Homo-oligomer: A and B are copies of this chain.
């Protein structure tokens, strides 16, 4: 199926069009994924972690989890030594942990541009944009259903965002494209409009297969079988239910050596107990059962310990974001993931606001900071999230993407070499002096401090003369400028052609479905 691409790959560098495309491509600056040089924040004691782990084993053994409408999964569990009753799977103590041992602790996810390949695990942090909103929002037009044009614009913004390492997946739902075909257009956009790594489709096993096949065209089929080129999001139906669609997609990815995030989807008080320790226990149960299952499909399948966490407002039932309870869970789940030796996904630009205003920013900053200190390795939703995930905001996308710079600088830690100690500077300046002109400052000022590319640092008078713009207004101008400056990264025309042909062929094979 990838013949055109294979032909093209073999002749790479031979085509005049390809050479021209590569020569004229604008190189957009992208920061390397974060490698932390700071400790993690460990909120739970060893004793507390032991209790949670023991309770999780008790639940796996005595209560079990459900694998729904998936007889093959039940059969696999039976063979592995679990007790299966109806759709309920109970795991003897230690079984899940033993099975999970083959999952790798660090995942290299390749991008088509090797400079943008990311490492997920250890001290790394990879930042990916918002995932899933059916609506978009911008300052002029307000809130409206997302289209494929919006989707493409977000992929372009992600490509242009210096602190974003990953192009993400369903950055918004292109609701103007049939449900059963939109994954094709989304994948094509990630593959052709960006050169950053991306996610595959999980809404049907056949769509996961399309994702694998299109990656075969982009990277070469053999490369895909030997390397991870997608990280896809498998949500658990919390509490403790694994449905056939998600598990079917997981099976496709695991078989093809592609990474999945196994992610409990927790609205505390609704899908999990109201307490932090109880929620952590359930998260651990779900992750252990799901990742153990992935290793039954293919030992060594790359998997990520996920935890999507929000609280609930007990007055209204609304989910709430950037809360202290979500922070506790995010910190604790990080510790549990590290004890299992698994990469960890959590946190994001979470907020419940309807506008990119102060509420949005407080809640987002709370969650982003927690994510860094919790040892998160893969942060989905790191920019653009609004209104509880219903909305992808153009302004908030660039606001958050700018703030992600602070995480990069925080993660650097404190330099203690001679230049860091700055004793010469203190000697030179002395009591009552001024550092601006001293030699040490001159040598360091360009890299010393993080600087926003968006926020306003001007004096009041200048700011006032320039129209007294708030952050939303500044962000509106910035996202338009980024889209205006966007230039498509070079791609071998043969590959591009083969991808387009694949999408056209697959679309022609299916009638449109809108639900």
Q: Specify the chain B residue showing the minimal Cβ separation from A475.
A: B358
* Contact indicator A66/B432 (Cβ below 8 Å): yes
**Contacts A327-B410, A416-B51, A455-B352; is A422 near B277 (CB within 8 Å)?**
yes
| Contact residues in B for A88 (Cβ distance below 8 Å) | 431
> How many interface residues does chain A have, given as a range?
35 or more
* Contact indicator B314/A273 (Cβ below 8 Å): no
**Contacts A445-B314, A457-B352; is A273 near B440 (CB within 8 Å)?**
yes
Stretch touching chain B among A17-25, A166-174, A206-214, A365-373: A365-373
Contact with B along A446-471 (1 / 0, CB 8 A): 10111110011111100110001011
Stretch touching chain B among A39-47, A91-99, A152-160, A224-232: A39-47
* Contact indicator A456/B48 (Cβ below 8 Å): no
Contact of A356 with B by CB under 8 A: yes
* Contact indicator A422/B324 (Cβ below 8 Å): no
| Contact residues in B for A290 (Cβ distance below 8 Å) | none
* Contact indicator A41/B373 (Cβ below 8 Å): yes
Q: Specify the chain B residue showing the minimal Cβ separation from A49.
A: B416
* Contact indicator B274/A435 (Cβ below 8 Å): yes
| Contact residues in B for A459 (Cβ distance below 8 Å) | 318
* Contact indicator B314/A448 (Cβ below 8 Å): yes
Most buried by B among A47, A316, A413, A470: A470
Stretch touching chain B among A123-131, A234-242, A244-252: A234-242
In the assembled complex, the CB of A337 is this many whole angstroms from the nearest CB of chain B, namely: 16
**Contacts A268-B448, A448-B325; is A423 near B358 (CB within 8 Å)?**
no
* Contact indicator A450/B364 (Cβ below 8 Å): no
Stretch touching chain B among A57-65, A75-83, A500-508: A57-65
Q: Specify the chain B residue showing the minimal Cβ separation from A422.
A: B278
* Contact indicator A423/B55 (Cβ below 8 Å): yes
Instruction: Kindly state the separation between the CA atoms of A354 and B462 in the bound complex, as whole angstroms.
Output: 11
Instruction: Kindly state the separation between the CA atoms of A445 and B269 in the bound complex, as whole angstroms.
Output: 8
Contact of A27 with B by CB under 8 A: no
Instruction: Kindly state the separation between the CA atoms of A354 and B364 in the bound complex, as whole angstroms.
Output: 20
Other-chain residue from B59, B412, B436 in contact with A426 (beta carbon distance below 8 A): B59
**Contacts A320-B449, A324-B409, A369-B365; is A66 near B431 (CB within 8 Å)?**
yes
**Contacts A281-B421, A431-B64; is A325 near B416 (CB within 8 Å)?**
no
A residues at B contact (CB < 8 Å): 38-39, 41-44, 47-48, 51-52, 55, 58-59, 62-66, 68, 88, 143, 237, 239-241, 268-279, 281-282, 311-318, 320, 322-325, 327-328, 332, 352-366, 369-370, 373, 387, 390, 399, 403, 406-410, 412-416, 419-423, 425-427, 429-436, 440-441, 444-446, 448-452, 455-460, 463-464, 468, 470-472, 475
